[in-house]
Amino acid sequence: MEIIGIDVHKKESQVCILKSTGKHIEERIPTTAERFQRLFGWREAAQILIESSTESEWVARVLERMGHQVVVADPNFAPMYATRSKKVKTDRRDARTLAEACKLGAYRPAHRVSDKQWRVRSLLTLRETAVRTRTKFISVVRALLRHEGYRVPSGSAEHFVERVESLKLPAPLQDQVMPFVSLCVPINERIAQMDQAIEKITEDDPQVARLQTVPGVGPVTAAAYQAALDADPKRFRSAHQVEAYLGLVPRELSSGEKQHRGSITKAGHSRLRHLLVQGAWNILRYPNASTQALGLWAEGIVRRRGRNVAAVALARRMAGILFAMLRDETAYQPLKIHPPKQLPSAA
């Protein structure tokens, strides 16, 4: 069986084929399905290693349809590059390194997202882009109005247009800001359409329905969490590993006897991290009977560290709870959430 390493790039990819005789063939080809078909379609089943990247998934599927065994490897696994010189880096050397790592088995497979969760992630990406665009418009309009002495009342982004229209603005200022305000209308409509599409894809998923029983977790957050874990919580050893995967654990820079922990790492899925933090803020700002257990837990941190730290800590706690619910296939149990112990009062 031939061993092949492919250094995949957006426009062109470098291929290294290790023959059973010990010789190797190197070729640079355009990164297109047709070119992969011409090079690999007639070959017997081979073992192919590529790095995880933007293009890696569709390239892997094209090669797998030809009958090849494809491994998408984690690029953060250092032993995979053990045979590569650190002084000189080229695409040819990278492809040869991947082929040799494939031969030695010195790689760690990356998780490949299922078709269903890939569609959900695509919708979430488009939705996030639309939400950020709307937020930029709102920020610009607010700043312009404040500069002229007008303040837009607080409220949801969905009703920002109505709140601006309720202000008695002079004609010159209206001509300046209303074109930007009106752009929020089609964006709101598109976001609502994407929310409906996400709900439709996940409406028959019992796990997504289960996650929505947690306070602060709506259909979008539940679908995003499910997509991030790809419906397979068993690939994580613990809730802490999920929290680290989402970038919700403190950054640590320690050496010898010195330990230093900073703010959260912000690694992994920024979209889901933002949604969880937003849900945590909703619990802190709008307490009610359903959020009482999580609210009491967070209030202990508010008293010691402030509301900003408490919101992030609560988001981390929610990520762990959601993981446990998926792992154990259980519903949300607020009685198991105990508030932190009270600190001893000062003498």
Which residues are CB-neighbours of 153 under 8 A, at least 6 positions away? 163, 166
Q: Residues, the chain, total?
A: 347
- For residue 339, name the pLDDT band (cuts at 50, 70, 90): low
Residue pLDDT, tens place only, 268-291? 788 899 999 999 999 999 999 889
How many Å separate Cα 83 from the centre of its chain? Answer: 32
- For 210, the token pair is 């289960």
Let me know whether 219 and 343 are in one domain: yes
Q: Is position 109 within any domain?
A: no
Which residues are CB-neighbours of 199 under 8 A, at least 6 positions away? 219, 223
Q: Is position 110 within any domain?
A: no
- Residues 237 and 280: their CA atoms lie apart, in Å, by 24
The type of residue at 328 is D
Let me know whether 273 and 305 are in one domain: yes
Let me know whether 213 and 194 are in one domain: no
**What's the pTM value of the predicted model, to 2 decimals?**
0.76
Residue pLDDT, tens place only, 103-148? 999 999 988 888 888 888 899 999 999 999 999 999 999 999 999 9
pLDDT over 90 at 29, yes or no:
yes
Q: Would you state the pLDDT for residue 347? A: 34
Kindly report the average pLDDT of the chain as a whole number: 89
> To the nearest whole percent, how much of the chain has pLDDT over 90?
64
Query: How many domains are contained in the chain?
Result: 3
- For residue 203, name the pLDDT band (cuts at 50, 70, 90): confident
- Boundaries of domain holding 146: 116-204
Let me know whether 251 and 341 are in one domain: yes
Q: Which of 179, 204, 229 is the last residue of a domain?
A: 204
Sheet holding 12-18, edge to edge: 24-30, 12-18, 3-7, 47-51, 69-73
pLDDT over 60 at 172, yes or no:
yes
Residue pLDDT, tens place only, 210-259? 999 999 999 999 999 998 887 678 888 999 999 998 999 888 776 666 76
- For residue 343, name the pLDDT band (cuts at 50, 70, 90): very low
Let me know whether 215 and 336 are in one domain: yes
- For residue 341, name the pLDDT band (cuts at 50, 70, 90): low
- For residue 342, name the pLDDT band (cuts at 50, 70, 90): low
How many CA atoms lie within 13 Å of 50's alpha carbon, on the beta-carbon side? 28
Q: Would you state the pLDDT for residue 78? A: 83
Backbone CA torsion sign across 248, 253, 259, 262: negative
Q: Which of 204, 229, 254 is the last residue of a domain?
A: 204
